[in-house]
A and B are shown apart, each in its own frame.
Chain A
């Protein structure tokens, strides 16, 4: 059973611009956003069988909906994010209270050390990958590695359209890796090629990468991904996965999709 943290999009909107996708002029259709979000929840609960924990939305925190950036949860320990931009730093205290309220042991990184949660840290059970340069800083990974006794391979993100690791890389439950190689530098691409056998590397095309095909939620054989990525869907189907496309274009206006809207709690 998979538990996911989500936050309803009651106050979601484009109130500032902190990534290349955000344009304040490109207003969110709130009704549509709410519809799309509920559709996603329905798929996650009914089709995938995930258990959802809902965090209460807060006025003035439009990006709280992207719970992947709340922090990371490992067992009963939670590390809240330290956002790079002041616009999202306002979420930190609220998220920390939520973790404490749920009985998590909150472990905090030094202030001034940027780390944007599960948006930049994801991986397989024994090896994690840490995205850095755009939002999180590489120096947080040795600390997290020490706390959780995991190998963390830092990967530099070189294309600011893929500003979080979860926008261009998605480890799958069967050991495959869905990813868009050009989002990484030569060293990162080499490391991934070295680590993962060619048969397990599922390369996403640029067109679908830009539709955030990699921003997918994988629970067992189920993969929930944004609609409009047919090549990726057939790639996943060929490997025995069950893709669940969900239209999430209102959230793409803010540079987020399925994965950004969830945080794995265990």
Chain B
């Protein structure tokens, strides 16, 4: 991310070429600028004024540039420290707390702009004034006395830079349509997955791929493709509920999902009990991992996750049967577990689950590209409307998406 600082230049800066000199200096030193609010004096005596946003690739370079242009009159726009108020009690923010967006944010602490860690929308910002660090904190996790940013002073939100890669993520995608040509989009996503897998294998930070999915993936026949994607290390984190793993393992044990015969293509007698018997079986074994390791569960999404060491967060909901061992039934704890799995993610695929797609979308910073696939246009629309350049909405069924994506990456069904 770029570091930046707003500077003001005023006086007779146009005819004296002082403005030109300052801008030249910024470029010569390897920085860039955004010239804002240039007010040119109406008479020769009247001064001109320019507000310049100086950008540099590192804090060090930015400081060098500011140091070089200050003697020519460019003064850092007077900024105040952010206002800090102690949380009045555990789980309660002070009044007027600053609520975050999903965009990168910095707060000014003792005259220094500090990056807010763990950016996510709708949280507060907790500051450690001594260590000069800042991080987001959910309302429920705040402790009495924590210093929380209040008001808007000393807070700045960094607009998203347009991505450099010229692929589907590089243009604004607020429009979602079922008539979009899916092939090109999927092909671009596949290219990203290949890049990210290389990064993941080399240990590059931010190379993980997250998939949040619903049981429709299994019902409609996307199970094999998703299993393959996990086996081939294209997906590293799975967010789901109770149903996706239950039906995935039901297929393995009974050949049905929600009682519907996968091979037979019809409802089998007493098939509606299969998912309950599956859940009961896994509960008896103790964990999904033990079921896979002991050979009870041999194929499918969960088996692939266990074998490949993919991280799985299962968040329960109110109508869950069982639930399966490992499903987090405390929704605040589930949210925290999902949040903890976000760092390191470089791409998110939100497939066929309104609940998990929206929950995951809200946890993601705007800088992480995300693809929302749903047969109901309302879901991708809601996600794309978050105002991120990098949210791609696809109105299509989960199976077609996963199979086409896997095929693009070399899957042979």
Contacts and interface: CB of A to CB of B under 8 A. Distances in A.
A127 B47 CA distance: 13
Contact of B16 (A146, A149, A150, A155): A155
Interface residues of A, number: 26
Interface string B1-38: 00000000011100111101100000000000000000
Contacts of B47: 142, 145-146
B44 interface: yes
A191 B303 CA distance: 74
A152 B47 CA distance: 9
A193 to B, nearest CB: 11
A211 to B, nearest CB: 29
A142 B47 CA distance: 7
A147 to B, nearest CB: 11
Interface stretch (B67-75, B262-270, B291-299, B327-335): B67-75
Given A139-B73, A141-B12, A191 B45 contact: no
Contacts of A138: 11, 18, 71-73
Given A145-B45, A146-B47, A190-B17, A151 B73 contact: no
Interface string A120-146: 000000110000110001110110011
A153 to B, nearest CB: 4
B75 A139 contact: yes
B11 A154 contact: yes
Given A126-B44, A150-B45, A154-B73, A145 B17 contact: no
A187 interface: yes
Query: Secondary structure of the A side of the interface?
Result: mixed
Given A145-B45, A146-B47, A187-B21, A153 B15 contact: yes
Nearest to B11: A142
Interface in A37-81: none
A153 B44 CA distance: 10
Contact of A153 (B10, B16, B20, B75): B16
B286 to A, nearest CB: 72
21 contacts: A126-B44, A133-B71, A138-B11, A138-B71, A138-B73, A139-B73, A139-B75, A141-B12, A145-B47, A146-B47, A153-B15, A154-B12, A154-B16, A185-B21, A187-B17, A187-B20, A187-B21, A188-B17, A191-B15, A191-B17, A195-B15
Interface of B: 10-12, 15-18, 20-21, 44-45, 47, 71-73, 75
